[in-house]
Structure 1
Amino acid sequence: MTNLTLLTRRDPFASFDSVLLRRGFGPAQKDAFVPAAEIVRDGTDAVVRVELPGVDITKDVTVELTNGRLVIHGERRDERAEDSSVYRLREVRYGSFRRSFTVPRHVTAEALSADYSDGVLTVRVSGAFSDDEPKRIAINGATAEPATES
């Protein structure tokens, strides 16, 4: 059997809570609501999509940029009255949620825009990948000496 090691470049938008969930550390509450998210690159922009069907986006969701983190938090409320005499299957999760993603240092709040459509919150981070190209740094004190032939 071959042991394969995958090397990946560190994603500046890696979510700390997503890493914990992938490693088996789930939310503290067994019924906690953790909305699915994806991040895609669109040119130099990053586009974050978070599935939030059934959420009142105007009252119950906040998008913030704080300390180099894009934070999306809110609550999915269950407005239906409970009747304990009725048995039912319940797979929809309700309650508070919080998703947090690291953004590059140069990103400001002005670079963010958010839209909500068909149960999906889309946050565009303009210019997130604009500093993605490597930049050559001059080395002080180094002089170019011609190569000598022996």
Structure 2
Amino acid sequence: MSTLTRRDPFFADFDALVRRAFAPAPIQRQSGFTPAADLRRDGDDAVVALELPGIDATRDVHVDVEDGRLVVHGERRDERSEDDGARRVREVRYGSFRRSFTLPEHATAEAVSASYDAGVLTVRVAGAYTEPRKPGATSIPVTVAAATSAE
């Protein structure tokens, strides 16, 4: 046997208030942008190219190796203004960015180099596609010189 219970409107409002107060915070969009990235292989090296136009690469871009990951992060600050006498327009764009890429276990920070040219940051990881060196002993083959005959 079931019982039908009528809800009091006060409790319905109270219930909604409690749900709103203790509900998880809504997901907020991050300010900033995500630069486009192109990953490619160049021989045994991995090359990552990121589109970062209008950035002062020496001041606003950082390339780090953190816990086996290549991390590129920084901030874009772009100000433009026009003043033609009758009107003045000023546009300010800014925002932070962060991209990270997993490195092979054998890649070290010493293998990473970065350069910036024409709005593109190029990060090269030397030897990323070489076989990792295995711990333990390694056999070195011995070559035998050709025998020379004595006269």
Q: TM-score range by the shorter chain?
A: 0.5 to 0.7
Where 1:79 maps in the other structure, the secondary structure is strand
* Aligned residues of 1:33 and 1:93 also touching (Cα < 8 A): no
* Aligned residues of 1:63 and 1:71 also touching (Cα < 8 A): yes
Where 1:59 maps in the other structure, the secondary structure is helix
User: What is the match of residue 107 of structure 1?
Assistant: 107
Distance between the aligned counterparts of 2:55 and 2:48, measured in 1? 17
Letter in 1 for 2:100: S
* Aligned residues of 1:32 and 1:93 also touching (Cα < 8 A): no
> Which structure is richer in relative contact order (CA contacts within 8 A, separation 6 or more)?
1
Q: CA deviation at 1:131?
A: 1.6
How many residue pairs align between the two structures? 103
Distance between the aligned counterparts of 2:63 and 2:79, measured in 1? 23
* Aligned residues of 2:54 and 2:78 also touching (Cα < 8 A): no
Higher alpha-carbon Rg? 2
User: What is the match of residue 48 of structure 2?
Assistant: 48
Letter in 1 for 2:76: R
* Aligned residues of 2:45 and 2:124 also touching (Cα < 8 A): yes
Letter in 2 for 1:98: R
TM-score, length-scaled by structure 1:
0.60
User: What is the match of residue 65 of structure 1?
Assistant: 65
Specify which structure has the higher proportion of strand.
2
Identity among equivalent pairs (%): 63
Structure 1 vs Structure 2 CA RMSD: 3.0
User: What is the match of residue 96 of structure 1?
Assistant: 96
Specify which structure has the higher proportion of helix.
2
Unaligned runs of 5+ in 1: 1-26, 136-150
Matches within 5 A, 1:1-40: 28-29=29-30, 32-40=32-40
Letter in 2 for 1:129: Y
Displaced runs of 4 or more, over 4 A: 85-88
Distance between the aligned counterparts of 1:93 and 1:123, measured in 2? 25
Distance between the aligned counterparts of 1:120 and 1:47, measured in 2? 12
* Aligned residues of 1:53 and 1:118 also touching (Cα < 8 A): yes
The change in CA–CA distance for 1:34 and 1:86 in structure 2 (over 3 A counts) is farther
> What are the superposed Cα offsets for residues 78-134 of structure 1, whole Å, 9 maximum, x if unpaired?
3346xxx9899x8x96300000000001000110111110000000000000028xx
TM-score, length-scaled by structure 2:
0.59
User: What is the match of residue 77 of structure 1?
Assistant: 77
